[in-house]
Amino acid sequence: MYTAFFFIISSCNSSPGFRYSEKERQKQTLIIQPFAEKADVPYKLITSSITRQYGFKVSINPHLQLAEKFENHEKGKRYSAPMLLDYLNKLKPDSAALITGITGGDIYTTKKDRSGKIKKPEYKYKIWGIFGLATCPGSSSVISTKRIKHPDRSKYEDRVIKIILHEIGHNLGLKHCTNKKCLMTDAVETINTIDNASSSLCKKCVIQIGH
């Protein structure tokens, strides 16, 4: 069974531009949607971190179970992250700006090469376990706490916050940043990159979404 801790580049469609200025974000709500296996999540810390970094008000929905159609069992029970993004978009009311799903269950996507084919070796990348995925720019993101557990509670919570804030950054239109300390740095398939990054955006990224 494939168990390595990997992080996938968050999905980013071809739509140009950034979503919501700083003033607009302060008037908007971001919804947290817990589902599937319940996650050990520091909701108060998540709420304050999202508001501090982006300005959104945060609302937390009741927990939802997921239908079997979201599951894949080729490498143990994993939920399709792309399918969850579509589902979250349907759940999001028009009154909310963004919606972020959180689960304690494992999530995956299919990692492809530049030609659109499954990256080789196919057995490794067809069902590719990930920490989070987001549309960029877009309205939905999803994260899993399955692969980020740590005996140090503060380190675990730090990982949760960084991954959530990173995916929300993609929703707002930010791509991966070349600054290795920036919240938006590409994790390059390792949890160590996330641990070494800051929980804040660099000045360049702040400017991009701050107009």
| pLDDT tens figures, 159-172 | 999 999 999 999 99
In a domain, 14, yes or no: no
In a domain, 16, yes or no: no
| Structure tokens given for 70 | 């979201």
In a domain, 68, yes or no: yes
Domain at 55, CATH number:
3.40.390.10
Domain count, the chain: 1
In a domain, 142, yes or no: yes
Find the mean pLDDT for residues 117-143: 93
Name the residue range of residue 143's domain.
Answer: 22-210
Question: Residue 68 class from Cβ within 10 Å (0-12 exposed, 13-18 middle, 19+ buried)?
Answer: exposed
Task: Specify the pLDDT at position 192.
Answer: 87
Find the mean pLDDT for residues 172-200: 89
In a domain, 136, yes or no: yes
In a domain, 2, yes or no: no
| % of the chain residues with pLDDT over 70 | 91
6 has a pLDDT exceeding 90: no
34 has a pLDDT exceeding 60: yes
In a domain, 39, yes or no: yes
157 is catalytic: no
| Structure tokens given for 206 | 């702040």
Report strand pairing: 78-80 vs 106-109: parallel
Q: What is the pTM of this model?
A: 0.90
Q: What is the dihedral of CA 86, 87, 89, 90, to 10 degrees?
A: 130
Which of 24, 37, 167, 189 does the annotation list as catalytic?
167
Find the mean pLDDT for residues 22-39: 94
The residues, ordered by sequence, that sit 6+ positions from 116 with a Cβ below 8 Å of its Cβ are none
In a domain, 13, yes or no: no
CB 103 within 8 A of CB 147: no
